[in-house]
Amino acid sequence: MVTVAAYLSRPRQWVAFTKEWQRTIRPIKCYHAADAAACHGEFEGWTPAQVADLAKRALPIIPRRTEMGIAIGIQMEHFEEALKGRPILRKQIGTP
């Protein structure tokens, strides 16, 4: 399964979001949920409790500073089936 999500907001709100988000997640520079869950990458050496504490502080920023969230997911076998026999499209899209 691959899921992609995005949030929409107005420019002023993005500026406020970015400042608040960066201040809150320090010393992390780029919050990758998969890395956080695995205590990998920038989260190397973190405990699950530390990761959970950061999430508790950072995640409430999202609904405060964005207007809408959008997400879509696809099972990889469906993705592969849809691109079977379409090499040009496959090359353009690549892999999630």
Distance CA(48)–CA(45), nearest Å, equals: 10
Rounded to the nearest 10°, the torsion over CA 17, 19, 24, 26 is 130
pLDDT at 4: 87
* Cα gap 46→51, rounded to integer Å: 7
Q: How many CB atoms lie within 10 A of CB 54?
A: 18
* Neighbouring C-alpha atoms within 13 Å toward the C-beta of 37: 3
Average confidence (pLDDT) over 67-91: 93
The whole model's pTM is what? 0.73
pLDDT-based confidence at 96, cuts 50/70/90? confident
C-alpha to C-alpha distance for 41 and 75, rounded to whole angstroms: 26
The pLDDT tens digits of the residues spanning 8-62 come to 999 999 999 999 999 999 999 999 999 999 999 999 999 999 999 999 999 999 9
Q: Are 72 and 3 in contact (CB under 8 A)?
A: yes
